[in-house]
Structure 1
Amino acid sequence: MRFTVTAVIIGSYARGDFNVWSDVDVLLVSDYFLGNPIERLRHIDPPPGVEVIPLRIDEFERLREKRDPIAVEANSLGIVVRDDLRIFSRR
């Protein structure tokens, strides 16, 4: 199944201060996601050591407006892996 998504690595791996115990934090933004963020996690099966944050576009934009730490870090230090939604194309 194909869907549009923006994927950004955030956290210690993006900052470069990770260690052997660090997980990889991946922000996924897509309108494909249904339900609330907790319900979405039930449908995502990341490999061990990967923490996924699934947000809809409107939720991410709201976090950006509020200067939420997740959005701030994604905007400033995030490593964009895929940007189908062109959220970070003007960075």
Structure 2
Amino acid sequence: MEIIREREKTRRKVISEAKAWAKTLKFKSTVILVGSYARGDFNLWSDVDILLIANFRGNILQRLKNINYPPGYEVLPLTPEEFFRLVNKKDPLALDALSYGIILRDDLGIVRILKRK
């Protein structure tokens, strides 16, 4: 039982830190924690997978250059249009975000839009 409590404590800490990071973003965005920390099956080598949706310009590499994120974070910056395209195509990442993703911030109202669909 102690191991389970420790893992849950670690998971809560990572979620809290990710939420704090999401609040520091200086632009409107929707931030969703996905991957092993969202599911709860993380391990010592897991990174913090973040789906970052905002009104970006340029390609993904150009977008990443303009985002300051902590070490150990894997950030995927998408526009709302790109994200909805993935949802409509039933892309595994989008479906995972919808199934078990943890919403850290939702300035764009994407969660509300998806609930209407």
What TM-score results when the alignment is normalised by the length of structure 2?
Answer: 0.72
Q: Return 5+ residue gaps in structure 2 as ranges.
A: 1-24
Does residue 42 in structure 1 map to residue 65 in structure 2? yes
Query: What secondary structure sits across from 2:111 in the alignment?
Result: coil
The structure number with the bigger radius of gyration is 2
Instruction: Say whether residues 1:20 and 2:44 are aligned partners.
Output: yes
Structure ranking higher on relative contact order (CA contacts 8 Å, 6+ apart): 1
Could you tell me how far apart the structure 1 residues matched to 2:28 and 2:104 are?
13
Aligned-partner SS, 1:88: helix
Q: Find runs of 4+ consecutive structure 1 residues off by over 3 angstroms.
A: none
SS at match of 2:57: coil
Within the candidate set 28, 33, 43, 1:9 is matched to 33
CA RMSD of aligned residues (A): 1.5
Secondary structure of the corresponding residue to residue 7 of structure 1: strand
What CA distance in whole angstroms lies between the structure 2 residues aligned with 1:41 and 1:4? 16
Q: Which has the higher strand share?
A: 1
Secondary structure at 2:52's aligned position in 1?
A: strand
- Counterpart residue number, 2:111: 88
Q: In structure 1, what is the equivalent of residue 89 of structure 2? A: 66
**Which structure shows the bigger proportion of residues in helix conformation?**
2
Counterpart-to-counterpart distance in 1, 2:54 and 2:68: 16
Tell which deviates more after alignment, 71-80 or 39-48. 39-48
Alignment partners' CA distance in 2, 1:54 and 1:23: 16
Query: Unmatched 5+ residue regions in structure 1?
Result: none
